[in-house]
Chain A
Amino acid sequence: MKLEVSGLNSFYGQAHILFDVALGVGAGEVVALLGRNGAGKSTTFRSIVGLVAQREGQIRFEGHEVAREPTYAIVRKGLGYVPEERRIFTDLTVEENLEVGRQPKRDNAAYWTPDKLFTLFPNLGEMRNRPGGRMSGGEQQMLTIARTLMGNPSLVLLDEPSEGLSPKIVEQMANAILTMKKEGVSILLSEQNLHFARLISDRAYIMERGRIRFSGTMAELEARPDVRDQYLAV
């Protein structure tokens, strides 16, 4: 397993948000974390990279326990994180945004350069010197992913990559994720959009009110319309 989380409990102040969350991502796998609004998907991701201050549990990345390390150290080990809110540096150009994400080459992971990323996301290549603040939502979403890939991660946490994108851009995004997978990057993505998840994922977890309610392959999930209706459908 590339990433193994177990017994994860997280709190915001007095509020207990995650309850004994356990999940894993194998090398080269694309795994979806599904759930409705407020299920705790983003909190899970933020907890894994150490952005939630109050959390307990085990987080093993490539066999090392990282739960007690600061965010930057976890990320430097090759665990990339793409936040939900995008958080582009709006004053910086596309190239400068990429520069912030740059980390040295890693032996066990694909190596990304701006030029390689511009072939993955051709739109970005056409606006290298444009400030991040003057890009569309879809372009910003691509830029956040590209920025994280500049760190040459072996695993990426993608928080709702399809959120708020037009169908055409969603398709581009799905292709980009599949290309990342081909390059050997393992991916854990959160989604509410089951169609999108189905296009790209190997396995899925379903989360509800801070607990994992289902775990299985995409095919197993297809076979359980009851689970889908209970935890996903609106």
Chain B
Amino acid sequence: MGFYIVQFLTGLASASALFLVASGLSIIFGVTRIVNFAHGAFYMLGAYVAFTLTERLSGAFGFWGGIVLAALAVAIIGVLVEMLLLRRIYSSPELFQLLATFGLTLMVEDLVVLIWGPDDLLGRRAPGFRGAVEMFGQNVPSYDLFMIVLGPVVLGILWLLFHRTRWGILVRAATQDRDMVAALGVNQKWLFTSVFGAGVFLAALGGALQIPRDAVHHALDLRIIVEVFVVVVIGGLGSITGAFVAAVLVAELNAFGILVFPKISIILVFLVMAVVLIVRPWGLFGKPEAAARKTPGLSVRPWQPLSQNERIAFAVGVVLAALLPLIAGNYALAVGAEIAIFVIFAASLHFLMSVGGLASFGHAAYFGLGAYGVAFLAKIAGLPMIVCLALGPLLGLFGAAIFGFFAIQLSGVYFAMLTLAFAQIVWSIAFQWVPVTGGDNGILSIWPETWAAGPARFYWLSLAVAVAVVGLLRVIVFSPFGYALRGTRDSLLRSESIGIDAKRIQWTAFVIAGTAAGIGGSLFAYLKGSVFPDNIGIGLSVDALVMVLLGGVETVSGAVVGAIVFKALSIWLVSQTDWSKLILGGVIVLIVVAFPKGIVGMIETWRARSDAPSSKSAALAASQPEGAE
């Protein structure tokens, strides 16, 4: 009995840090409508800065002062980020905001390694809370007890802040209707900045307070952000109380999940999240969002099937690509095969995003499942390659069927967060379930059979599959199913009123996209001869998003071009520098700032300008983005 109580207390202690970070994310989202992906990065920075400050400053004041100073310092960084970056993109599509903050996260990951080195850092113990207290015959670290008290105290302080100060009342009002707040004479700019600063302060404080409990390392950000996404999805975005309750729930599920499923405790959290989403799609304390802002640039121009000339151009392109082995060396062919595989991957996400209007932030899950599918079949069942290639993607299909069922219940940023959380769950399983997946060591030596071995043959295989998959996806786009799917994207209500089962169609689209990604993953396993949890990682999911956005969401061929350009660039970057994340993150941020409406949105704006009723009014519109929603 005592053991369970102590386990419960440990859960509560973890819940406090989780709550701090999640409440910050919630407040920021409530007012600015930005889902701050970089929240995990700020948490991690808080921990690193606190590590340095508490090492430098001595004594009890030094420790606690260091914690608070660290949170303040990171909050200042947050304020700068808001003023220099986010202010430029408040009127951009949600997807771009998520991407921009993701780019920041990538940069921070490399920056902390640059500054603090790659090794885990063990922080100082908190003065006055070094020992343990004996309870029920077990030792409970006294710092855990401190954290347990801290959570509700912070909840109380936040409550007072939001109900007893003018700032708090303005924040609550803006959470509900920020344009009305502006129409009452409140300068939104500073409200947004202060809210962002406050949210980042909470995240950094959460990170700083973890240093006596946990080692500081450069992967903290993704771990916490996924848990926090799960917390806010369960609790309801924008609700502080919801964040608290859900943080306790998730932390306890983790604490007890370890006892039930020692290797894959995250499954328990997933199950609970699934149940909550079915019962209350907006979370326990959330409110249904007004129809999510459409991702502009998605529905501007109806698609045309290829014209005769385009068909010829396409055929010539394929023939030229097929001739590559005549001139290119082995390395170039391996790169070529990889690019072909990523064309498949990007095209599958593009299908989901542009035709279905569903922007998945965890598409790598299905790519990775396809790769693991092949690995299991080839290594464990020892099946021939052609069978593995045919059946491997089925794992992607199953994954997409299960996760997709839940994900399509939501839309907009909730959909993005949920798909991301699912992908991270798949990643955790691959990483933690060592007996089956090999964990971090992956599954090795999955080599193609002779008919496909050798760079040229494998390249041809990949190219052929890529052409087939992209062609098939196009056929689906222009089929009745494709039109129905576009209907659900453009107006869910209308399409349901004319008898289309929208959810079913979206689910099918999700499964198609997941299967296509799985096909890419299957090939990838043979290309690399191995599979690793990284094949499911968030990094890969975001690569896919960048490829789609780079090429243009609108054009059918966009994903193909985007994949070729992006993949070639990133392979080259990785070969040139150790700090590829820093540069890639920077590039993503720049793209988002340079094309705040998306590349296609940009082209639309140019077109609109040239035939607007008056160029002056368009200029006026551009200079006053606020209130234009």
By a beta-carbon cutoff of 8 Å, the part of chain A in contact with chain B is: 9, 11, 14, 16, 49-56, 68, 70-73, 75-76, 81, 83, 87, 89-92, 96-97, 99-103, 147-148, 151
The reply to whether A9 and B617 form a contact with Cβ atoms under 8 Å apart is yes
Q: Would you call B179 an interface residue if the criterion is a C-beta within 8 Å of the partner chain's C-beta atoms? A: yes
Residue of B nearest to A97 (CB): B173
Residue of A nearest to B185 (CB): A75
How far apart are the CA atoms of A53 and B618 in the complex, in Å? Answer: 9
How far apart are the CA atoms of A101 and B185 in the complex, in Å? Answer: 7
The reply to whether B179 and A51 form a contact with Cβ atoms under 8 Å apart is yes
The reply to whether A54 and B618 form a contact with Cβ atoms under 8 Å apart is yes
Q: A75-B183, A87-B180, A89-B176 are in contact. Are A53 and B616 (CB under 8 A)?
A: no
30 A-B pairs, CB-CB below 8 angstroms?
A11-B613, A11-B617, A14-B613, A50-B624, A51-B179, A51-B183, A53-B620, A53-B625, A54-B618, A54-B620, A55-B617, A56-B617, A56-B620, A68-B623, A70-B182, A70-B624, A71-B182, A71-B626, A72-B185, A72-B187, A72-B188, A83-B183, A89-B173, A89-B176, A89-B180, A92-B172, A92-B173, A99-B169, A103-B185, A151-B185
The reply to whether B627 and A51 form a contact with Cβ atoms under 8 Å apart is yes
Residues on A with C-beta less than 8 A from B184 are 75, 100-101, 147-148, 151
Q: A70-B626, A87-B180 are in contact. Are A96 and B169 (CB under 8 A)?
A: yes
B158-179 vs A, CB cutoff 8 Å, 1 = contact: the mask equals 0000000010011011011101
How far apart are the CA atoms of A101 and B612 in the complex, in Å? Answer: 37
How far apart are the CA atoms of A185 and B623 in the complex, in Å? Answer: 32
Interface residues of B in 173-218 (CB under 8 A from A): 173, 175-177, 179-188
By a beta-carbon cutoff of 8 Å, the part of chain B in contact with chain A is: 166, 169-170, 172-173, 175-177, 179-188, 612-614, 616-618, 620-621, 623-628
How far apart are the CA atoms of A18 and B357 in the complex, in Å? Answer: 34
Q: How far is the CB of A77 from chain B (nearest CB, A)?
A: 9
How far apart are the CA atoms of A92 and B169 in the complex, in Å? Answer: 8
Residue of B nearest to A46 (CB): B627
Residues on A with C-beta less than 8 A from B625 are 53
Residues on B with C-beta less than 8 A from A71 are 182-183, 626-627
Q: How far is the CB of A98 from chain B (nearest CB, A)?
A: 10
Q: How far is the CB of A181 from chain B (nearest CB, A)?
A: 22
**In the complex, which of the residues A70, A72, A76, A91 contacts B172, with contact meaning CB atoms closer than 8 Å?**
A91
Residues on B with C-beta less than 8 A from A49 are 183
Residues on B with C-beta less than 8 A from A103 are 185
Q: How far is the CB of A121 from chain B (nearest CB, A)?
A: 17
Residues on A with C-beta less than 8 A from B181 are 100
Interface of B is mostly: helix
How far apart are the CA atoms of A100 and B191 in the complex, in Å? Answer: 12
The reply to whether A53 and B621 form a contact with Cβ atoms under 8 Å apart is yes
**In the complex, which of the residues A53, A76, A81, A102 contacts B624, with contact meaning CB atoms closer than 8 Å?**
A53
Q: A14-B613, A151-B184, A151-B185 are in contact. Are A99 and B621 (CB under 8 A)?
A: no
6 closest cross-chain pairs (CB), A and B: A53-B628, A75-B185, A54-B621, A76-B185, A53-B621, A87-B180
Residues on A with C-beta less than 8 A from B186 are 72, 100
The reply to whether B627 and A50 form a contact with Cβ atoms under 8 Å apart is yes
How far apart are the CA atoms of A70 and B189 in the complex, in Å? Answer: 11
How far apart are the CA atoms of A151 and B185 in the complex, in Å? Answer: 8
Residues on A with C-beta less than 8 A from B170 are 100
How far apart are the CA atoms of A184 and B157 in the complex, in Å? Answer: 42
The reply to whether B173 and A100 form a contact with Cβ atoms under 8 Å apart is yes
Residues on A with C-beta less than 8 A from B185 are 72, 75-76, 101, 103, 151
Residues on B with C-beta less than 8 A from A14 are 612-613
How far apart are the CA atoms of A89 and B617 in the complex, in Å? Answer: 32
Residue of A nearest to B617 (CB): A54
The reply to whether B176 and A91 form a contact with Cβ atoms under 8 Å apart is yes
Residues on A with C-beta less than 8 A from B166 are 99, 102
Residues on A with C-beta less than 8 A from B188 are 72
How far apart are the CA atoms of A192 and B210 in the complex, in Å? Answer: 62
Q: How far is the CB of A94 from chain B (nearest CB, A)?
A: 12
How far apart are the CA atoms of A54 and B185 in the complex, in Å? Answer: 21
Residue of A nearest to B91 (CB): A53
The reply to whether B177 and A89 form a contact with Cβ atoms under 8 Å apart is yes
Residue of A nearest to B622 (CB): A53
The reply to whether B169 and A56 form a contact with Cβ atoms under 8 Å apart is no
Residues on A with C-beta less than 8 A from B613 are 11, 14, 16
How far apart are the CA atoms of A56 and B183 in the complex, in Å? Answer: 19
**In the complex, which of the residues B169, B618, B621, B623 contacts A100, with contact meaning CB atoms closer than 8 Å?**
B169
Q: How far is the CB of A140 from chain B (nearest CB, A)?
A: 13
Residues on A with C-beta less than 8 A from B180 are 83, 87, 89
Q: How far is the CB of B540 from chain A (nearest CB, A)?
A: 38
How far apart are the CA atoms of A195 and B429 in the complex, in Å? Answer: 71
How far apart are the CA atoms of A97 and B620 in the complex, in Å? Answer: 32
How far apart are the CA atoms of A221 and B166 in the complex, in Å? Answer: 46
Q: How far is the CB of A7 from chain B (nearest CB, A)?
A: 12
Residue of B nearest to A51 (CB): B627
The reply to whether B620 and A72 form a contact with Cβ atoms under 8 Å apart is no
Residue of A nearest to B614 (CB): A56
Residues on B with C-beta less than 8 A from A92 are 169, 172-173, 176
Residues on A with C-beta less than 8 A from B173 are 89, 92, 96-97, 100
Q: How far is the CB of B291 from chain A (nearest CB, A)?
A: 16
Q: How far is the CB of B553 from chain A (nearest CB, A)?
A: 21
Q: How far is the CB of B164 from chain A (nearest CB, A)?
A: 10
Residues on B with C-beta less than 8 A from A89 are 172-173, 176-177, 180
Q: How far is the CB of A90 from chain B (nearest CB, A)?
A: 7
How far apart are the CA atoms of A49 and B181 in the complex, in Å? Answer: 13
Q: How far is the CB of B64 from chain A (nearest CB, A)?
A: 34
Q: How far is the CB of B34 from chain A (nearest CB, A)?
A: 20
Residues on A with C-beta less than 8 A from B182 are 70-72, 75
How far apart are the CA atoms of A180 and B498 in the complex, in Å? Answer: 51
How far apart are the CA atoms of A71 and B176 in the complex, in Å? Answer: 18
How far apart are the CA atoms of A161 and B170 in the complex, in Å? Answer: 25
How far apart are the CA atoms of A91 and B240 in the complex, in Å? Answer: 14
Q: How far is the CB of B509 from chain A (nearest CB, A)?
A: 29
Residues on B with C-beta less than 8 A from A96 are 169, 172-173
Q: How far is the CB of A155 from chain B (nearest CB, A)?
A: 13
Residue of B nearest to A132 (CB): B176
Residues on A with C-beta less than 8 A from B616 are 56
Residue of B nearest to A151 (CB): B185
How far apart are the CA atoms of A68 and B619 in the complex, in Å? Answer: 12
How far apart are the CA atoms of A14 and B609 in the complex, in Å? Answer: 11
Residues on B with C-beta less than 8 A from A76 are 185
Q: How far is the CB of A179 from chain B (nearest CB, A)?
A: 21
Q: A72-B187, A99-B166 are in contact. Are A90 and B617 (CB under 8 A)?
A: no
Q: How far is the CB of A21 from chain B (nearest CB, A)?
A: 14
Residues on B with C-beta less than 8 A from A53 are 620-621, 624-625, 627-628
Q: Could you say which of A54, A73, A75, A92 has the most chain B C-beta atoms within 10 Å of its C-beta?
A: A54
